[in-house]
Amino acid sequence: MKFIDEIDIKEKKVLFRFDFNVPLDSSLNITDDTRIRAALPSINYALDEKAAVIMISHLGRPKGKAVPEMSLAPVAKRLSRLLEKDVQFVSDCVGEEVRNKVASLKPGDLLLLENLRFHKEEEKNDESFASELAGFADVYIDDAFGNAHRTHASNVGICKFVPACGAGFLIKRELEYFGTAVEKPARPFIAIVGGSKVSGKLEVVANLIRKVDKIILGGGMAFTFLKALGYNVGNSVVEDDLIGRATEVIKAVKELGVKFYLPVDCVIAEKMDPAAQTRIVPVQEITSGWMGLDIGPATITLFNEALENAKTIIWNGPMGVFEMQPFSKGTAAMARSLADSPAVTIVGGGDTDVAIQQTAVHDKITYISTGGGASLELLEGKVLPGVAALEQCSQKA
């Protein structure tokens, strides 16, 4: 794969696929511009090369319809402020108006097109839609890591039609951190995996146990493993159809000699409610009819001790229902442990990123991924469709 600094973009029209899928409040104000800021290095490089910059992205899930609340117009305003340069905006991403606007661009101009997902053809990887997008530019640069695990027109289909293509600096950083961490880590290498359901993470765990020295499981997904070990977990989240697979993973861990950590105590309640009565109990004593919603203090101590000698730590998934204060202590403690660790610490986006921001330790983490789903698939050992398309395009060139 080629990267942006290996391609001649000087004074050319460059089409960038970014991930500007940022959260908006009810007044359509951006509440977290992390993903916008992550695009700035690539944009500034293109401006230094006197390129005309055309930007495309999605926001939310409008399902092929124009939804005003999911417009990228607020992103254009935020970009203008961050770049201290006018970012033009057009209220569609294909069509005659867009073609005319693109044709009028001069070196150094910036243009953001409207939400790709206002057209159903985007998520269907429609070839004619991809071809029209490709026709806007001399060079295509994908820097939307958060969308790299999708097979859409703007990141996969488009690569068949562009004259030249490559990846931006964000994708380069993401691949470097995850590639180095998983394939050539400084050891001991420890993975922390959490989240509510085991179904989304089980194959990640199965892949990681062959690479790590220790693996720590928390969150709701841990209860499927605890039940596989014979514990009564009350009304805790359990995916019964995956108990057999969890048992296989536990057996593999023993055979590989990997240290495997599960919660030893947990915070339980009768329902997932911040006002509910809570108790802290050993995992062997979860009350019938109650559910585990966070790891307990003994587990926090156990997990912290497991991390003490780490050289590389990857974390994906919270330790409990951290959005609710009574069940947030385990996740916050894990965030602080990573912040205090001298190890290389990599956080895999999504809810884990939110938890890091809430704990205000983001500046002490080595790398925070911008793509939850994409980072998970990398950890699972999968090839990302968006990355594969860029590799094929580069070979074609």
pLDDT tens digits along 68-85: 999 999 999 999 999 999
Pair of tokens at residue 192: 């922390």
CATH 3.40.50.1260 domain span(s) along the chain: 4-172+384-396, 187-342
Which pLDDT does position 396 carry in this prediction?
63
Residue 152, both tokens: 């859409």
Sole residue written with tokens 């690539």:
42
Looking at residue 397, its pLDDT comes to 52
pLDDT in tens, 123-179: 999 999 999 999 999 999 999 999 999 999 999 999 999 999 999 999 999 999 888
pTM of the model: 0.90
The pLDDT value recorded for residue 181 is 79
Closest CA to 321 of 362, 346, 354: 354
Domain spanning 4-172+384-396: CATH 3.40.50.1260: yes
Residue 314 in contact with residue 368, Cβ under 8 Å?
A: no
DSSP 285: G
Say if residue 34 is exposed, middle or buried (CB neighbours under 10 Å; 0-12, 13-18, 19+). middle
Q: Read off the DSSP letter of residue 304.
A: H
Return the structure tokens found at 84.
């201290």
- Give the separation between CA 13 and CA 109, rounded to whole angstroms: 9
Edge-to-edge strand list for the sheet holding 52-56: 88-90, 110-113, 52-56, 13-17, 139-142, 165-167
Phi-psi region of 259 (alpha: psi -120 to 50; beta: other; left: phi over 0): beta
- What are the residue numbers of the active site? 35, 197, 350, 373
For residue 329, the Cα-to-chain-centroid distance in whole angstroms is 23
Burial of 97 (C-beta count, 10 Å sphere; 0-12/13-18/19+): exposed
- Does domain 187-342 bear CATH number 3.40.50.1260? yes
The span from the CA of 349 to the CA of 12, in Å, is: 33
> Which residue numbers in the chain have pLDDT < 50?
none
